[in-house]
Chain A
Amino acid sequence: MLGFIIQRFMQAVLVMVVMSVIVFCGVYAIGNPIDIVIPPEATQEIREEAIRRLGLDRPLYEQYFIFISNLLQGDLGRSFVYNIPVLELIGGRLPATLELVLISVISATFLGVSLGIYAGYRPDGWLAKMIMAVSVLGFSVPSFWVGLILILVFAVNFGWLPAGGRGETVEIWGVAWSFPTLNGLWHIVLPAINLALFKLALMIRLARAGTREIMLTDTIKFARAAGLSEGTILRRHLLKLISIPIITVFGLELGSTLAFAVVTETIFSWPGVGKLIIDSIGVLDRPVMVAYLILVAFLFVTINFVIDLVFALIDPRVRHGVSA
């Protein structure tokens, strides 16, 4: 088991290194590297001076090392627009995104898996068919449209929920969170629903497909032949067997949800990292863009690593290094 953890960890580090090289090359090779540091409006003199000062006339691999060493020290440059260190900027906005994403993802998974299992267990019932039809919508409709409709219906039409922005915040461990307050929760509802919808639809479909397949296997037949009740079979056999594909997709979708937060945050004016990146692309605030990419890569690698660990915990075959 320890060997497994170490192996996965090394892989994660390797991927991070590769990602950093890719980001570095992408930004430095495609764009004009000087644009990372100097705003486009600077004069020729300032540019040349900066090039010399920052060593941008040095060979590429040297620049990479400078880049990396700065990174590891937490120096990701300064934002052109806000003129504060990027790390600080992103750090300030991250909690908002995190709380939105986590609330969405967790509720989507619980609700989605439950509905999906039901739809898979009784696939011919009218409720199951309705669930599937709705899931097609959640799946195919672009999330920005859903957000629009949500605002139109709940905020403009009925006036029940706020149309955007983050609510009151409370400081926990030195960071501002909004979910502990009622006002904050009120503001989270619509964006969370918007963000969760896609994932909900995905989980429903996945759980349904998995349930249908698993219920036809010999394992379930054997359990039935032994006289186990349907309830026991669902709880002790199905849930365990379905957890593998669910968790795999959960991990993949966590990253995807982080990405989709970009759209939701824009529509609901949610002050998170997503909105930041859109604004930054608009004004070409390159240090922020670079930092965002590195951050996302890091989050991805971490999520994948954690998922691998979870697998080892729940599937004994993975623990013992046996092929499934």
Chain B
Amino acid sequence: MIEPVLSVKNLTTHFFTRAGIVKAVDGVSFDLAKGEIMGLVGESGSGKTVTGFSLLGLVDAPGRIVEGSVKLNGTELTTLSDTELRSRRGREISMIFQDPISTLNPMLTIGQQMKLAIDAHEPLSARAAETRASELLTQVGIPSAKARLRAYPHEFSGGMRQRVAIAIALLHRPALIVADEPTTALDVSIQAQILFQMRDLAHETGTAMIWISHDLAVVSSLASKLAVMYAGRIVEQGKTATLLRDPRHPYTAGLIASLPATAKPGTPLTQIPGTTPSLLSLPPGCPFAQRCDRATDRCETEPEMTLRDSRGWRCFHPVGQPAEASV
């Protein structure tokens, strides 16, 4: 078996706040193969963004990784020193963020910011850096790349800015890119463009990608496998097509049912009743139980991940199987 590019086992990240311990990420495990695109789906507060930060070691105080292992190309990241971790960020693993307006420094030109990213790992002469930067800008679909290097971020549209961020993430040909809701802040028409561009880029360069989103529809057109998160845990994971056709976890089923695309025309859209529980005071047992119409007393104990045929779910009463018969 080929070694996966990324191997996450039992990743646990807690925030130690005044009001209590927030278990933002609670025992997340998954593997990612080279060139594979995985979608990490969940509502806000599900822990998907913190998972992304944890992979790069960018969790802000008062949070930190308390347990678990993150192996990138075989190297354990959680035990690395700051310097060693930094040398891998941007080179072997990159990240792009949601809002391109705030990710780029408005007072530096695109070229200057790209040069900074280049020099962080492989100092080049000004000319060589310019060539490399314009190559990448062209690759992400920005015309007249060389001239655009001298422009400032505010001279670009939102979609273009995000492309610049993608270009910066690709500069050193990383093995993995973590994309945190990269299209959420953009116009719908641009979203599709960026989406497919990123998919093509991933295939061209063989870069694996984790696409974090709250929008199941967006992710499913792009990712070959999905992981659904709820209250800090992965509640279901597997191949995209299988999951969408035949979900096991009631939450996943609820998400799919609430998509406008799956609704029958003329009927009201389905919603999942209730709201996400506060991560400060999670009820014991399955965190989804309060909102689930399949919940029983059994659900007061925490369900383990059931693994079968390269898919997994955390539920005592999975959908598609008769209630009461599980494990």
Measured CB to CB, the residues of A under 8 A from B are 216-219, 221-229, 232, 236-237, 240-241, 314-317, 320, 322, 324
Specify the chain A residue showing the minimal Cβ separation from B118. Answer: A226
A237 touches B121 (CB 8 A): no
A232 touches B120 (CB 8 A): yes
Tell me if B288 counts as interface (CB < 8 A to partner A).
no
A222 touches B97 (CB 8 A): yes
Q: Give chain B interface residues in 83-131, CB to chain A under 8 Å.
A: 86-91, 94-97, 99, 102-108, 112, 116-117, 119-121
Residues of A contacting B119 in the complex (Cβ-Cβ under 8 angstroms): 232
Measured CB to CB, the residues of B under 8 A from A are 56, 58, 60, 86-91, 94-97, 99, 102-108, 112, 116-117, 119-121, 152, 154-155, 165, 168-169, 171
A225 touches B58 (CB 8 A): yes
Contacts A217-B102, A227-B87, A232-B116 given: A222-B108 contact, CB under 8 Å?
Answer: no
Q: Beyond A226-B117, A241-B105, A315-B106: 10 further Cβ-contacts under 8 Å?
A: A217-B102, A218-B97, A219-B104, A224-B58, A226-B89, A227-B120, A229-B120, A240-B105, A316-B152, A320-B152
Least distance between A320 CB and chain B CB atoms (Å)? 7
Q: What are 30 residue pairs bridging A and B, where the CB atoms are less than 8 Å apart in the complex?
A: A217-B102, A218-B103, A221-B97, A221-B103, A222-B103, A222-B104, A222-B165, A225-B56, A225-B89, A225-B90, A226-B89, A226-B90, A226-B94, A226-B116, A227-B87, A227-B91, A227-B117, A228-B90, A228-B120, A229-B86, A232-B116, A232-B119, A232-B120, A237-B105, A237-B108, A314-B107, A316-B106, A317-B106, A320-B154, A320-B155
Residues of A contacting B89 in the complex (Cβ-Cβ under 8 angstroms): 224-227
B95 touches A241 (CB 8 A): no
CA distance A322 to B107 in the complex (A): 13
Residues of B contacting A225 in the complex (Cβ-Cβ under 8 angstroms): 56, 58, 89-90, 94-95, 97, 169
B103 touches A219 (CB 8 A): yes
B86 touches A316 (CB 8 A): no
CA distance A236 to B94 in the complex (A): 20
Specify the chain B residue showing the minimal Cβ separation from A324. Answer: B106
Residue from A221, A222, A315 within 8 A of B107 (CB atoms): A315
Residue from B94, B96, B116 within 8 A of A228 (CB atoms): B116
Contacts A218-B97, A218-B102, A240-B107 given: A226-B56 contact, CB under 8 Å?
Answer: no
B154 touches A317 (CB 8 A): yes
B116 touches A236 (CB 8 A): yes
Least distance between B159 CB and chain A CB atoms (Å)? 17
Specify the chain B residue showing the minimal Cβ separation from A317. Answer: B154
Least distance between A220 CB and chain B CB atoms (Å)? 9
Residues of A contacting B116 in the complex (Cβ-Cβ under 8 angstroms): 223, 226, 228, 232, 236
Least distance between B23 CB and chain A CB atoms (Å)? 22
CA distance A316 to B105 in the complex (A): 11
CA distance A308 to B75 in the complex (A): 52
Specify the chain B residue showing the minimal Cβ separation from A239. Answer: B107
CA distance A324 to B102 in the complex (A): 12
CA distance A322 to B105 in the complex (A): 15
